[in-house]
Amino acid sequence: MQISRRNFLGTLASAQIARGQSKLKAGAAMVNITPTLGSSLAGNMRDVIATEVHDELHVRGLVLENGKTRIAMATIDSCAVPRTILDRAKDLIAQHTSIPASHVLLSATHSHSAPAATHLFQSQADPKYTDLLAVKIADCVRLCVTRLQPARLGYGTGREERLVFNRRYYMKPGTIPADPFGRTTDRVLMNPPAGSPNIDRVAGPTDPEVAVLAIHGLDGNPIAVYSSYALHYTGGVGPGHISADYFGLWAEAMLKLAGKQFVPILANACSGNINGINFRVPAPRRGPYEMMRSYAETLAAEAFRVWRGLEFKDDIELAASIEELPFETRLPPGSDLDAAKKLIGFKQGPYADRSEIYARETVLMAESYPAHVKSFVQAMRIGSMGVATYPGEAFVELGLEAKSKSPFKTTMMVELANDYRGYIPTVEGHELGGYETWRAKSSYLEKQAAPRMVASAVRQLGMLG
């Protein structure tokens, strides 16, 4: 491995220096966003309080410039970041760097062991942290701009099929429990008991593609690698631990494989119904972080393999587009609200029973959610590679469809981008039911949101392509 790594970087450096000055510039940076102990951690239906820091959280960013256009891409170690924070960060970025909001892609990784940046189930965001988070995101992009240097980049895709599984399953008749509202209309079950004889068949596909964008300086040393992969998260952290999940460990593994310092960035592709567990077989016993590290190292190996085979160029077209779409929200009807109020009555939280948790969600949505919201679908062009984004936990089918209709040979998908609007199931996913469709702060957009977002992504990719 050591010999191959030296040959890869050394040969590339010689070839690039011989070609002369680059037309492309690039800069990368990472900024620490680890919260204080005692913070509320998102990712669970019950609130979890941080008592330990296993690994630091970061914003990791990249800016590209070709003399005409600048674009910025950054990931945030967070479960979900709402538009209010990201809009504030983009305002600061535009103020200090002149990069317009349409050319800035900000996305959450979806770590379930990071502080709440918005109100998710019973985890509340700390305003002091969210105010600082907006500034830190902007600082990261500003640092990228100050570090711009002549560069060349390459992009491509690989495949890693062993880590991803669709987590929704058809079950044998009569074996799906009632939903939190007492209804028995669900036709699929998320995360059934591992190895259960009641599992019939999986309810959807996966997307094992590993998209890789690598940027090097003229000396051949890497500046950044930006990759995306459709895996929800892995979990398996210690109690009360702050962790970037496998996204952070992937970055560590990439640094070890390269033997060089650079900024490794892993974004989440469309993984709303994808996780890393094969529920058809009994679950193996694993200690804390065991699965996370194994998955991170396996994925890093494939990303590094793709990276080593890339062709690097400096004459790169850059462009970006963004569209703001209006959506109806699935607000609770009066009968559901009456039932929810009756269920929880004057009982004070925190709530442990699932029906009470969703009753609280029903009351909160009825009291504070609007009938309509607006959110973003964004597209970018980096040479002959396209990038498309969705503003929530998009079902894998949304990414597969956008890529199949994209004019670009390589199209990278990024979810949880520029906003957070909960799960984005397909229309069929809504009809099948299951956790991702249960009305709550985590799932409330209209049933037609998915096809409308895909149409926007495809339309913008076509315009840029």
**For range 185-201, the mean pLDDT:** 97
Predicted structure pTM score = 0.94
Residue 21 pLDDT class (50, 70, 90 cuts): low
Q: Write out pLDDT tens, residues 196-236.
A: 999 999 999 999 999 999 999 999 999 999 999 999 999 99
* Cβ atoms within 10 Å, residue 135: 14
Whether 17 shows a pLDDT value over 50: the answer reads no
Please tell me the distance from the alpha carbon of residue 23 to that of residue 323, in angstroms, as a whole number.
29
Whether 24 shows a pLDDT value over 70: the answer reads yes
Q: Phi/psi at 292 (nearest 5 deg)?
A: -60, -50
pLDDT for res 80: 98
DSSP result, 329-356: B-PPPHHHHHHHHHHHTT--S---SHHH
Please tell me the distance from the alpha carbon of residue 220 to that of residue 271, in angstroms, as a whole number.
33
pLDDT for res 18: 31
pLDDT for res 346: 84
Q: Are the C-beta atoms of 56 and 247 separated by less than 8 Å? A: no
The full set of domain ranges for the chain reads 2-159+204-321+375-421+454-464, 332-368
Sign of CA dihedral 212, 215, 219, 222: negative
SS3 of 97, please? helix
> Which of 74, 76, 75, 68 has the alpha carbon at shortest distance from 98?
68
Q: Packing angle between helix 127-146 and helix 83-97, nearest 10 degrees?
A: 30
Please tell me the distance from the alpha carbon of residue 321 to that of residue 377, in angstroms, as a whole number.
9
Q: Write out pLDDT tens, residues 161-182.
A: 999 999 999 999 999 999 999 9
Q: Are the C-beta atoms of 113 and 236 separated by less than 8 Å? A: no
Please tell me the distance from the alpha carbon of residue 361 to that of residue 30, in angstroms, as a whole number.
35
pLDDT for res 9: 38
